[in-house]
Homo-oligomer: A and B are copies of this chain.
Amino acid sequence: MKKSFLFLLSCISLSAGAQNLVQYVKPIIGTQRMGHVYPGATVPYGMVQLSPETDTPSYELNGRYNPDVYKYCAGYQYDDKTIVGFSHTHFSGTGHSDLGDFLIMPSVGTLKLNPGTADKPGSGYRSAFSHANEVSEANYYKVKLDDPNILAEMTTTPRVGFHQYTFPKSDQAHIILDLMAGIYNYPDKNLWTYVRMINDSTIAGYRLTNGWARTRTLYFAMTFNKKFLQMGYRKYDKREVYGGFWGQFARVKNFPELAGRQLRLFFDFKTEANEKIKIKFALSPVSMDGAIANMKAELPGWDFEKVKADGQAAWEKELHKIVIKSDSKDEMVDFYTSMYHAMINPTIYMDVDGSYRGLDQNNHKADGFTNYTTFSLWDTHRALHPLFNIIDPKRNADMVRSMLAHYDQSPEHMLPVWSNSANENWCMSGYHSVSVIADAIVKGNADGIDANHALEACVATARHRDYAGIGYYMDMGYIPDERNGNSVSSTQEYAYDDWCIAQLAKKLGKNDIYEEFYKRSQNYKNVFDPVSGFMHPKLADGTFCKKFDPFTTLGMGFIEGNAWNYTLYVPHDPASLIKLMGGNKHFITYVDSLFSYDLPDKYFAETEDITRDGIIGNYVHGNEPSHHVAYLYDWTDKPWKAQEKIRMILKRMYKPTPDGLGGNDDTGQMSAWYIFSTLGFYPVAPGSDQYAIGSPAINNAVINLQNGKIFTVDVKNQSDKNVFIQKITLNGKVLTTPFLTHADIMNGGSITFEMGAKHK
């Protein structure tokens, strides 16, 4: 009762004139170059991400991999001049592509079922557009399609996309449903497509794809606000299947059942001038009936404005979890767009009744939790899940339960590495699920989690000898460079992950597991070469590789980071690392050099996932392994250097412009870094309860905690120049070390920073 009352209160307070924060959300930020985010409509953690595609390049070009595919991970590139259509599923900020399901495009006049090419206007159904006629807000996207002269608008509920197309007067108005279109558009991606007409304005269907997610079935239901005159189709595969095949039927249109590998459908209408054709398009991971039920439950009517407003209110509620004050509108935009990007993933992956497709390809029912997918854990364990542990611990606990369900269903008996729609994509290194799990439980956020089962899952994953060099790592204390391309970085990442498991075991009083994994957590020392001064690839015979280049990321035992960066990747034990590297002074010089030594151009080309701006000296913010690095100064006698560097990174890597992200947003990790760093602290080692203090970049922030308490960050005298902390008081007491604990925040209270232009 109390909870609902509080919830009610918060709703009322929001609707009764609370600050409008949604206005600062600009989904267009990061849509240019490498941000890989999309400008379309979604609600927080929504299963539907309804957004325009400006291109979906074929995976193959002349029989080879087409490098353009990478640009279109989110389907949209700001520099493009045409829109192909609007599809219902998109990754946000990933470095790999998939999805792009069920592309819809309106058109008028002679029907063109081919998308055509951007360089030939009118060659297909794609249309020119301009950013002047485009509006991109949280849960609302609008664009004028110039070629058919149609205004396209879209909004969503968690499981339903809502399209509204304002047509000119036409006897030949069409809605195209391109069931061949997709992102990661491999020629054989579509395995099977099935469509069934339910009545004269509703269809349902599904598509089975073998994309990045290798066995993925997505079901849909699609309803128009008026009857279509005709549903037609064309097939693009040699074998004729349903629809017209059976001599028994006299009809040439409106086949109520269609299937095949490659199909495009169209729906014909007559429209009056300014007539709105509306479409509700529901998804389900489980069944067509599930999609229909989702539509009925979430979007029973046809009030576009109400659905848009409801979704924006949902965003408003999420954004209000941290209310900041800043003199700069740009900062407000950067902050709340980061909040927006941080609360898109992981995505809900179940029907309204709790049914979802499991990793074992069986259907399951989520018992008392919301099931999520799209876990890009190599990225998000660092700051995104720790952020959830502060602002949305209940949801984070559900995410952990989703990860444990994944483990229970896993043919490998492993926790997720990169989970995507009932598939394990095995993308990137480490077993960082254990970090997310340990962080949640260590921070007391174990709501509904079976902690012992969680520990069992962590241990089983970490002992999977067959996976990515773990066997060698267990036997030898490091991965020999002959055995694995990421021998050094994986050794380091396992060491950190093992430390997380040890923390979890300690919390649960499992001393033998604590001992085992604490010991493993020290393995990073085995790949440090005191001669080169770097983490250094080591051979099976125990000697370090002679060929070595600390700048390169290729073929040197690291992934998405060179030795210079990765050497600092010991988030769980900075003090020992500093000792290992020669002590305080040498360590500071080393970190300084990372920011000041410009990476020669020849190395840049091989640095993945980032733009040229995504690099500062040799510090690669566009990739994640260095996200904690600036905070390491807190373990030296010069924490002011952290303050300086963090403000520099905030300024240079985040801008309120389409090209404003310095690299892939990585399903929110880059944004979570921004949020923490702007607030003035950062979780260097998730799995501990400690935050390292940086340099707050706002004047005031109120964190509205789920437990009803409030934690306030007050920053005095802060400015672009006044980046150095003069004094910190926590609930009135002076803080003498640059660290904060989770309890300090969750108990409520206030922290006050006094800032100045000179470091102390």
Contacts and interface: CB of A to CB of B under 8 A. Distances in A.
Contact of A248 (B214, B257, B261, B426): B426
Given A248-B467, A426-B248, A471-B250, A241 B210 contact: yes
A248 B210 contact: no
Nearest to A288: B362
A3 interface: no
Nearest to A424: B257
Interface string A178-208: 0000000000100110101100000000101
A672 B191 CA distance: 42
B251 A215 contact: no
A215 B485 CA distance: 43
Interface in A681-708: none
Interface class of chain A by DSSP:
loop
Contacts of A259: 210, 214-215
Contacts of A79: none
A411 B196 CA distance: 6
A361 B292 CA distance: 13
A541 interface: no
A426 B245 CA distance: 11
Contacts of A412: 256-257
B257 A241 contact: no
Given A411-B197, A426-B246, A471-B250, A241 B214 contact: yes
Interface string A60-104: 000000000000000000000000000000000000000000000
Nearest to A248: B468
A5 interface: no
B214 A361 contact: no
Nearest to A364: B289
Interface in A358-415: 360-363, 411-412
Interface string A703-741: 000000000000000000000000000000000000000
Nearest to A241: B214
Contacts of A210: 192, 239, 241, 259
A469 to B, nearest CB: 8
A331 to B, nearest CB: 41
Contacts of A214: 241-242, 259
Contacts of A247: 485
A192 B194 contact: no
A155 interface: no
A529 B751 CA distance: 102
A618 interface: no
A586 to B, nearest CB: 35
B361 A206 contact: yes
Contact of A467 (B192, B196, B249, B471): B249
Interface string A505-542: 00000000000000000000000000000000000000
B426 A362 contact: no
A359 to B, nearest CB: 9
A360 B411 contact: no
A289 B359 CA distance: 13
A475 interface: no
A533 B191 CA distance: 54
A287 B256 contact: no
Contact of A192 (B191, B197, B239, B256): B191
A362 B217 CA distance: 13
A196 B360 CA distance: 8
Interface in A318-375: 360-363
A197 to B, nearest CB: 6
A208 B192 contact: yes
Contacts of A239: 188, 210
Contacts of A287: 362-363
Nearest to A250: B466
Nearest to A256: B411
A421 B551 CA distance: 60
B196 A215 contact: no
Contacts of A191: 191-192, 208, 261
Contacts of A362: 287-289
Nearest to A290: B362
A196 B412 CA distance: 10
Contacts of A188: 239
Given A242-B214, A466-B249, A471-B250, A257 B411 contact: yes
Contact of A288 (B197, B249, B361, B468): B361
Nearest to A289: B362
A197 B361 CA distance: 12
Contacts of A256: 411-412
A191 B469 CA distance: 34
A528 to B, nearest CB: 24
Nearest to A413: B256
Contacts of A248: 426, 467-468
- Please indicate which of the listed interface residues A188, A249, A362 has the most CB atoms of chain B within 10 Å of its own CB: A362
Given A214-B241, A250-B467, A257-B412, 4 more contacts: A196-B411, A208-B208, A250-B469, A288-B362
30 contacts: A191-B191, A191-B192, A191-B208, A191-B261, A192-B192, A192-B208, A192-B215, A194-B215, A196-B360, A196-B361, A208-B208, A210-B239, A214-B259, A246-B426, A247-B485, A248-B426, A248-B467, A248-B468, A250-B466, A250-B469, A250-B471, A251-B466, A256-B411, A256-B412, A257-B411, A257-B412, A287-B362, A287-B363, A288-B361, A289-B362
Interface of A: 188, 191-192, 194, 196-197, 206, 208, 210, 214-215, 239, 241-242, 246-251, 256-257, 259, 261, 287-289, 360-363, 411-412, 426, 466-469, 471, 485
6 cross-chain pairs, A with B, having the tightest CB-CB distances, nearest first: A256-B411, A248-B468, A257-B411, A289-B362, A246-B426, A196-B411
